[in-house]
Amino acid sequence: MKITLNDQAFEVQEATTLQVFMDSLQRSLDGLAVAIDYEVVPRNTWNDVVLVDGMSLIAIHAVSGG
């Protein structure tokens, strides 16, 4: 099935969780927030969120400073 992350298409297996998908990207997850349908998904629920075909994700890195 296909999902998008920041407008980039990805092919994932059925029943893939958000946590498994994010881990598969092999990027640092420090300071990262993920939104589905413009709603931020708390990191402690990533293992419970099962991705579905056509889902659109947005990943945002928090940056400190002023």
- pTM of structure: 0.90
State the virtual CA torsion across 26, 30, 31, 32 in degrees, nearest 10.
Answer: 30
**pLDDT tens for each residue of the chain, 66 residues long:** 999 999 999 999 999 999 999 999 998 889 999 999 899 999 999 999 999 999 999 999 877 776
Half-sphere exposure of 49 (CA within 13 A, CB side): 19
Domains along the chain with CATH numbers: 2-61 (3.10.20.30)
